A and B are shown apart, each in its own frame.
Chain A
């Protein structure tokens, strides 16, 4: 019985992506390493994303605090606001929001960049000139995304908490010291470590999906746009799926 067209496409793409991932691991650990290009990609992917991620993180912290306040006030536990926001930001909001912003910015840029290189046959030209395009273009970008997202998540968490501190102080008065004392009193390694680890997976997913979509784009400039678009969509969905898996794993390990 022939499978519907949509299913066929989905399954074949999943298979291709798996092979692509396998290829990344095979090529990635073989010398020679493109260190200089890796640093360059890290700069673009990590450093250049910081303002955007920082801004969203700040707004998220502030808004979350302002939104949580009324319900906490109705329970008379307004003083627990830093604790609640701290846990929410570190465990979930920070990694996921940052990863989504990251997917929107980096996934699309990688997809578009590699897609346009593909359609303009630059990748083929690289191969001809003796440079391994997979190593040079894909491995560096995926590694950069994997390594930079956790750093961005950490910084975003810090900025979010700062935004939350301002949010707390819009309506009430809490000293900076007390706020952070409360946040860190509430936090434990069980909150922090799983969130940190899962952000590596988010980064890897964004990098690999962006590269895959770009590397396999076709049909001229239209294909470039489509690959950029689908890179964002697929990586965003993957982030949520990974988040779901991560919460299951931490639950099984008793870290919740």
Chain B
């Protein structure tokens, strides 16, 4: 009988061990699916859930916080995902947190990642809809990669062409193998440096001049800065204008005079007509002029005679003397 009870105790231990293991296993499995703990529901809406199903993990900043409870179609472009989140996370998850989709490892299960937003927004309550971030699918990535590859291909082909051209260009290689080139370049660099130094100096001078001009020094400065000069210039211009006006008037008067003279000449009135149009007057004038010529010649003779006259000789001698003194 005692043996029997010991056997029963052993059996009890055996069965209890089995029970403990099964309960532990169930708890361990159920813990991840949040079966034994208080939790609350948050929602997020995607255009495409890419194979997400109920039971997939939800992580908050990389920490396992819950699972996907249900995936429901709201419309043809909107799918609502309900997530069961551990109540302990209630004080961390905000309404503005962003939910994105990714895979566990390279080819693992789909997971939802809640990325914490900046603090200060109100906390998410049961049933709130969080912000969904459009995830990049592998197809999108491959598509972009395809474009990139094509571009790289084009670029590499062009590079190849360029290199081929460079390789086949004898001028380039000559340039590269030219040993005097560096020296020339160095000399050029030195010259350029000198030039630069000179230019620097020049600029400094110009700067000084400009400063002077600004300060009103020199004539240019005076012109540019002295207001009195500009006033005078204005006045001068006004006067020139007045002179111009007067000249204009004068010209008009002259024209009218010329008109009357012209009329007179043409109609045979006045002395002008007589001078210009009457040929007898010309003859007379000629005769008069020749008479005057003759007169002046004889006057010259008379004058010479006077110089030699004793009465006047003294005066002319004094005049010569005075002239000689001035020359000395």
Seen from chain A, the residues whose Cβ lies within 8 Å of a Cβ on chain B are 36, 39-40, 42-43, 46-47, 50, 150-152, 154-155, 157-158, 180, 184-185, 187-189, 192, 196
B221 interface hit (Cβ, 8 Å): no
Q: 23 A-B pairs, CB-CB below 8 angstroms?
A: A39-B8, A42-B11, A43-B7, A47-B10, A150-B18, A151-B18, A151-B19, A152-B18, A154-B22, A154-B25, A155-B14, A155-B17, A155-B18, A155-B21, A158-B21, A158-B25, A184-B31, A184-B32, A185-B32, A188-B33, A188-B55, A192-B25, A196-B22
Q: Which partner residue on chain B sits nearest A152 by CB separation?
A: B18
Determine the main DSSP class of B at the interface with A: helix
Task: Kindly provide the distance from the CB of A39 to the nearest chain B CB, expressed in whole angstroms.
Answer: 6
Does A151 contact B29, Cβ atoms closer than 8 Å?
A: no
- Alpha-carbon separation in the docked complex, A43 to B29 (Å): 30
Does B22 contact A43, Cβ atoms closer than 8 Å?
A: no
Interface members, chain B 200-223 (any A CB < 8 Å) = none
- Alpha-carbon separation in the docked complex, A184 to B28 (Å): 6
Residues on the B chain within 8 Å of A150, using CB? 18
B15 interface hit (Cβ, 8 Å): yes
Task: Kindly provide the distance from the CB of A161 to the nearest chain B CB, expressed in whole angstroms.
Answer: 10
- Alpha-carbon separation in the docked complex, A152 to B11 (Å): 12
Over the window 1-35 of chain B, the binary record of Cβ atoms lying under 8 Å from chain A Cβ atoms (1 yes, 0 no) is 00010011011001101110110011011111100
- Alpha-carbon separation in the docked complex, A72 to B140 (Å): 30
Q: Which partner residue on chain A sits nearest B16 by CB separation?
A: A151
Does A40 contact B4, Cβ atoms closer than 8 Å?
A: yes
Task: Kindly provide the distance from the CB of A44 to the nearest chain B CB, expressed in whole angstroms.
Answer: 9
- Alpha-carbon separation in the docked complex, A152 to B292 (Å): 171
- Alpha-carbon separation in the docked complex, A192 to B28 (Å): 11
Residues on the A chain within 8 Å of B8, using CB? 39, 43
Q: Give the residue of B14, B19, B25, B31 whose beta carbon is less than 8 angstroms from that of A46.
A: B14
Over the window 126-154 of chain B, the binary record of Cβ atoms lying under 8 Å from chain A Cβ atoms (1 yes, 0 no) is 00000000000000000000000000000
Residues on the A chain within 8 Å of B31, using CB? 184
- Alpha-carbon separation in the docked complex, A182 to B38 (Å): 24
Q: A184-B25, A187-B29 are in contact. Are A40 and B7 (CB under 8 A)?
A: yes
Residues on the B chain within 8 Å of A154, using CB? 18, 21-22, 25
Task: Kindly provide the distance from the CB of A141 to the nearest chain B CB, expressed in whole angstroms.
Answer: 15
Residues on the A chain within 8 Å of B14, using CB? 46-47, 50, 151, 155
* Best-surrounded residue of B25, B26, B32 (most CB of chain A within 10 A): B25
* Best-surrounded residue of B14, B21, B28, B32 (most CB of chain A within 10 A): B14
Residues on the A chain within 8 Å of B15, using CB? 42, 46, 151
* Best-surrounded residue of B28, B30, B55 (most CB of chain A within 10 A): B28
Task: Kindly provide the distance from the CB of B190 to the nearest chain A CB, expressed in whole angstroms.
Answer: 62
Q: Which partner residue on chain B sits nearest A47 by CB separation?
A: B14
Given A46-B11, A185-B32, 17 extra CB contacts under 8 A: A42-B11, A43-B8, A47-B14, A50-B14, A151-B14, A151-B15, A151-B17, A151-B18, A154-B21, A155-B14, A157-B25, A158-B25, A184-B25, A184-B31, A187-B25, A189-B33, A192-B25
Task: Kindly provide the distance from the CB of B141 to the nearest chain A CB, expressed in whole angstroms.
Answer: 21
